[in-house]
Amino acid sequence: MAGLGWEEEIKALRERLRSKIESLKEAKYQNIDNDRCHLIEGLADIELSLGSLGGNATTTTTLTPTINEITTATDIAAGARYISIKNIGTSDGKILGAVIRPGKVVDFPFSPVSSDRYVAIAVDGTNTKLEVMEIR
């Protein structure tokens, strides 16, 4: 964006972010299983772009993704920036007391505010298997 004033740079960056968010929303609802990684990469890209709105485009944020399988009742620790939970088992599981059927996915998306974090989330994978993808 060289050659543009800062106001024009911000306007152009916001437009790129809006476009990226819309394409990610479409991908999320079309085929979440195949697009989960693409969605996470895109959201991380948006997070980094939002950081450049503050005028320091060279600042990067280190995000740590993890994938775990849960087969008991437990809490996902507080502090995650993104959480996706998929029931990969054959029986119902629970998230915050609500039933998640086999094959279903529940996403807790990124916030555009980099300091936002999720509280602990109660899950129950007893008699099934929940795949939990987190980014911290």
From the first residue on, what is the mean pLDDT of each consecutive set of 10 residues in the chain (136 residues)? 61 74 60 56 60 53 88 96 95 97 93 83 97 93
Residue 44: φ, ψ to 5°: -65, -40
Q: Report yes or no: 81 and 136 within 8 Å, Cβ to Cβ.
A: yes
Closest by alpha carbon to 87, among 124, 126, 46, 130? 130
**Regarding the domain with residue range 62-136, which homologous superfamily does it belong to in the CATH classification?**
Jelly Rolls (2.60.120.10)
Q: Which residue has the tokens 């279903």?
A: 104
pLDDT for the residue 27: 57
pLDDT for the residue 3: 54
Judged by DSSP in three states, 109 sits in coil
pLDDT for the residue 28: 52
Full-model pTM = 0.59
pLDDT for the residue 1: 44
